[in-house]
């Protein structure tokens, strides 16, 4: 089975940046190959990773409605479309979900895509899913098992409340949930002071599984210059903080057996 890491949180908290830092650390530690799934309709994990994408699965779904060649089954057509959407890089492959068709849709294209995606995910020892802001993907049960849930927030009450609500929702769903952590990102104050005075709701929801990532001016600089944040220098503030945190939470994780990348879907 793949080791599944899922990220969620309120929009604007740096969730995708944290996903990139996580993948950066995993590649450095030899935890690969990784399948990165960009489940956010904004589709910008590729920019964080410095990977170009050609198409998304939502594009494939739309093409199936009108572009299936005569004599080709929809299953084969969608398999070819998924192979086109999957981008291979060094140690990490990326696939972008794109925009959902809407709540409650069980059309043929979505059903075929779901089955193909399940098979694709099974070919990787590590899976990192960058979810859209909020709770929609969790609420739709697009993930059946989560080994590690990382919820990202800023220090605002709204961000922290959103993280707690997502945590409560995930725990109420009929899925297997392993560990969960709250990452308070872009914090400009004293992290020890924040951790010593956690809001009651946060303390009850996450107990001691809370960490703080500092604000780092290099993030904004890289964004302005269009540079992938996965290439941040080792001595940057957020890289040092994130690597220390990831080293702690993965310390007891046994390496997952290597699997063939992009096996036949």
> What are 102-111's pLDDT values in tens digits?
544 545 666 7
Return the higher-pLDDT residue of 77 and 230.
Answer: 230
Cis peptide before 111 (omega within 30 of 0): no
Query: Torsion angle, CA of 140/144/145/150, rounded to 10 degrees?
Result: -10
Q: Average the pLDDT over 237-252 and give the result.
A: 95
What is the pLDDT, as a whole number, of residue 142? 54
What is the pLDDT, as a whole number, of residue 261? 59
CATH entry 3.40.50.300 includes domain 3-249: yes
Count of beta carbons in the 10 Å neighbourhood of residue 59: 16
Evaluate if residue 31 carries a pLDDT over 70.
Answer: yes
Evaluate if residue 151 carries a pLDDT over 70.
Answer: yes
What gap in Å lies between CA 96 and CA 249, rounded to an integer?
Answer: 27
Return the higher-pLDDT residue of 120 and 50.
Answer: 50
The domain locations on the chain are 3-249
Is residue 220 packed enough to be buried (19+ CB in 10 Å), middle (13-18) or exposed (0-12)? exposed
Q: Average the pLDDT over 132-145 and give the result.
A: 61
Is residue 163 within 8 A of residue 194, CB to CB? The reply is: no
What is the pLDDT, as a whole number, of residue 107? 56
What gap in Å lies between CA 214 and CA 191, rounded to an integer?
Answer: 8
What is the pLDDT, as a whole number, of residue 104? 46
Return the higher-pLDDT residue of 86 and 70.
Answer: 86
Q: Average the pLDDT over 220-247 and give the result.
A: 95
For 131-147, letters b (16+ CB in 10 Å) and e give: bbbebebbeeebbeebb
């Amino acid at each position: 089975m793949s080791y599944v890491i899922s990220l969620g949180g309120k929009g604007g908290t740096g969730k995708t940046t944290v996903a990139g830092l996580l993948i950066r650390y995993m590649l450095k530690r030899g935890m690969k190959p990784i399948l990165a799934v960009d489940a956010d309709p904004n589709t910008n994990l590729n920019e964080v990773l410095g990977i170009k994408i050609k198409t998304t699965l939502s594009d494939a779904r739309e093409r199936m409605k009108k572009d299936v060649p005569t004599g080709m089954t929809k299953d084969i057509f969608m398999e070819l479309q998924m192979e086109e959407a999957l981008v291979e890089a060094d140690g990490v492959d990326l696939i972008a979900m794109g925009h959902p068709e809407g709540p409650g849709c069980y059309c043929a294209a979505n059903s075929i895509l779901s089955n193909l995606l399940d098979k694709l995910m099974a070919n990787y020892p590590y899976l990192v899913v960058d979810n859209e802001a909020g709770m929609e993907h969790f609420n739709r049960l697009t993930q059946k098992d989560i080994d590690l849930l990382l919820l990202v927030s800023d220090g605002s009450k709204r961000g922290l409340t959103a993280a707690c609500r997502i945590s409560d929702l995930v725990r109420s769903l009929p899925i297997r949930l392993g560990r969960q952590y709250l990452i308070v990102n872009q914090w400009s104050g004293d992290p020890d002071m924040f951790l010593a005075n956690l809001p009651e709701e946060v303390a009850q929801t996450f107990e001691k599984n809370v960490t703080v990532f500092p604000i780092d001016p290099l993030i904004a600089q890289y964004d302005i210059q269009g540079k992938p944040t996965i290439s941040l220098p080792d001595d940057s503030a957020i890289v040092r903080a994130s690597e220390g945190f990831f080293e702690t939470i993965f310390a007891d994780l046994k390496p997952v057996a290597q699997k063939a990348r992009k096996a036949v879907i």
